Amino acid sequence: MYNTETALKEAMTAIDGTLGAALVDYSSGMALGTLGGSKELDLSVAAAGNTDVVRAKVRTMEMLGLKGEIEDVLITLSDQYHLIRLLKSRNNSGLFLYLALDKDKANLAMARHQLRRIEAELDV
């Protein structure tokens, strides 16, 4: 089982091209943990901003009456991928893993696969 710190370390090392990782509580917008980032990539700001993205998508799905669950949300920038994985396992609902990836170094399919694996091991 991974705790928050171990899960973020695993994301940073196991996923090629990871620039930063965060575990975020989307009911509050607070990052429960962050690793990586830079002056240009403030993970606390990213956590709060991406909370708004998740809330908007959940609200839209409710208004549309869609019954499926959100697995992840991808935001593609010119040089980065921002991947938001909503956690559904065990006691982790209301949380998401956030990754910022270097577009030239990351393999998006492998990043999604590794995030699913990390989620399965995460116990917060």
Q: What is the pTM of this model?
A: 0.91
What are the tokens at 95? 């949380």
Q: How far apart are CA 104 and CA 59, in angstroms?
A: 33
What does DSSP say about strands 80-86 and 18-25: parallel, antiparallel, or unpaired? unpaired
| Phi-psi label, residue 102: left if phi above 0, alpha if psi -120 to 50, beta otherwise | beta
**Nearest by Cα to 46 from 27, 28, 20:** 20
| Beta partners for residue 91, in sequence order | none
pLDDT digits (tens, 9 = 90+) for 24-62: 998 898 999 999 998 899 999 999 999 999 999 999 999
Q: pLDDT, tens digit, for every residue of 54-96? A: 999 999 999 999 988 899 999 999 999 999 999 986 565 789 9
